[in-house]
């Protein structure tokens, strides 16, 4: 069974010779599928170079599209590997509301279910309810919350990291306040948190993960650009992917940055998180 995209594709490609008209129709179809325009142009060029003036059916085109997208995306399909460094430290960064705290909650649960000992440091001291929100998640996953009212985020990160170390935790995750990358003082604060824990351990933070809203479109591309100017981002988590948007922007990000995409999340429940799979993502994107 084809999804909508597959059906439309078979309407365009009827086994006739591929000409400019069919290519134009394909371009329009690809643009509606949430793939960024730069990538659409590349895909059209690829199909043109392989099939122009040749009899072409929907299956030929589908295979080229899948292959080309897979070439771009598959290098980003990497597992988040928890190394033996104790504690293995993960900091989550991103704009307001992208899903950092919720994702930390889900990961704490996931790691705890794998038998790991986990602490979470509530470094979003900016929003009063943020610690409360994290507390609920750590209670659900039976993991340890480290928080301190009215403390400054980097001081708390420092103390929290040390506490986690003395508990002999396997993993420590650091939640941070949402911030726009053009807010210089908040960006400076983020850099300070990172620098501070790096004073305790050379490898810390072991992972710096940018959490991106899957519905963010071009805006998410800009966020990656801006955050990575100041901070070395080692991975991406894509949230809210169960919605109508298919997060096609991630193809452009993969092409430009090659950053691992560790997880996607698709709901608000604790188990709504899965490892990123390039094949599944492409099938969903192309509605195949
Ligand atoms: N539908 C859906 N909602 C999600 C998902 N992940 C997070 N959310 C929701 O998105 C909203 C924001 O999530 P938070 O985890 O608070 O986001 P945040 O990045 O910590 O936000 P700030 O701390 O304010 O920057 C909440 O209502 C979450 O329940 C997801 O995968 N799917
Ligand atoms: Mg938060």
- Is any ligand 1 atom within 6 A of the Cβ of residue 124? yes
Q: Would the CB of 239 count as within 6 Å of ligand 1?
A: yes
**Residue whose pair of structure tokens reads 């929290």 in the numeric block:** 160
110-129 exposure pattern, b = at least 16 Cβ within 10 A, e = fewer:
bbbeeebbbbbbbbbbeeee
Q: Both tokens of residue 61?
A: 């085109």
CA count, 13 A, side-chain hemisphere, 161: 28
Q: Are 91 and 205 in contact (CB under 8 A)?
A: yes
* 238 SS3 class: strand
Dihedral sign for Cα atoms in the order 178, 180, 181, 186: negative
Is the distance from the beta carbon of residue 268 to the nearest atom of ligand 1 less than 6 Å?
yes
Question: How many Å apart are CA 148 and CA 162, to the nearest integer?
Answer: 14
Q: Which CATH class is domain 88-276?
A: alpha beta
284 Cα–ligand 2 center, Å: 28
Q: Give tens-digit pLDDT for 171-180.
A: 999 999 998 8
Q: Residue 142: CB within 6 Å of ligand 1? A: no
CB-ligand 1 contact for 197 (6 Å cutoff): no
Q: How far apart are CA 195 and CA 75, in angstroms?
A: 29
Query: Whose alpha carbon is nearest atom 6 of ligand 1?
Result: 99
Q: Report which ligand 1 atom has the smallest distance to the Cα of 96.
A: 25
Q: pLDDT tens across 242-269, in order?
A: 987 889 999 999 999 999 999 999 999 9
Query: What residues contact 212, with CB distance under 8 A and at least 6 apart?
Result: 94, 98, 220, 223, 224, 236, 237, 238, 239
Protein residue with least CA distance to atom 29, ligand 1: 268
Residue 2 has pLDDT above 60, yes or no: no
CA–CA dist 128, 243 (Å, integer): 29
Q: Is the pLDDT of residue 1 over 60?
A: no
pTM of the model: 0.95
Q: What percent of the chain has pLDDT over 90?
A: 83
Write out the two tokens for 88. Answer: 């293995």
What percentage of the chain has pLDDT greater than the value 70? 99
Three-state DSSP state, 275: strand
CA of 4 to the centre of ligand 1 (A): 29
Nearest to 173 by CA among 181, 164, 186: 164
State the chain's mean pLDDT as an integer: 94
Ligand nearest to the CA of 105: 1
What is the architecture, at CATH level 2, of domain 4-76? Up-down Bundle (1.20)
Domain residue ranges in the chain: 4-76, 88-276
Does the beta carbon of 97 sit less than 6 angstroms from any atom of ligand 1?
yes
Q: Counting atoms of ligand 1 from 1, which one is nearest the CA of 214?
A: 31
Ligand number, closest to the Cα atom of 96 = 1
Closest CA to 92 of 82, 100, 83: 100
Sequence-ordered alpha helix ranges (H) in 33-99: 37-51, 58-73
- From atom 13 of ligand 1, which residue's Cα is the shortest distance away? 99
């Amino acid at each position: 069974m084809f999804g909508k995209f597959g059906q439309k594709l078979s309407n365009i490609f009827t086994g006739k010779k591929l000409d400019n008209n069919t290519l134009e129709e394909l371009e329009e179809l690809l643009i509606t599928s949430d793939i960024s325009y730069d990538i659409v142009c590349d895909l059209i060029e690829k199909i043109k170079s392989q099939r122009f003036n040749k009899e072409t059916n929907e299956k030929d085109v589908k295979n080229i599209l899948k292959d080309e997208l897979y070439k771009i995306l598959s290098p980003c399909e990497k597992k988040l590997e928890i190394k033996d460094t104790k504690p293995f430290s993960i900091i989550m960064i991103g704009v307001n509301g992208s899903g950092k705290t919720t994702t930390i909650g889900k990961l704490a649960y996931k790691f705890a279910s794998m038998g790991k000992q986990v602490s979470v440091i509530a470094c979003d001291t900016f929003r009063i309810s943020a610690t409360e929100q994290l507390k609920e998640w750590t209670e659900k996953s039976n993991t340890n919350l480290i928080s301190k009212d009215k403390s400054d985020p980097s001081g708390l990160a420092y103390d929290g990291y040390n506490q986690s170390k003395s508990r002999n935790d396997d993993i420590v995750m650091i939640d941070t306040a949402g911030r726009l990358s053009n807010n210089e003082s908040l960006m400076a604060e983020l850099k300070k948190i990172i620098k501070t824990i790096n004073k305790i351990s050379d490898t810390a933070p072991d992972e710096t993960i940018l959490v991106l809203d899957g519905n963010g479109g071009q805006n998410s591309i800009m966020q990656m650009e801006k955050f990575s100017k100041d901070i070395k981002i080692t991975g991406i988590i894509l949230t809210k992917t169960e919605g109508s948007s298919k997060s096609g922007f991630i193809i452009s990000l993969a092409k430009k940055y090659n950053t691992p995409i560790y997880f996607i999340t698709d709901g608000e429940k604790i188990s709504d998180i899965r490892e990123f799979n390039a094949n599944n993502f492409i099938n969903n994107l192309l509605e195949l």
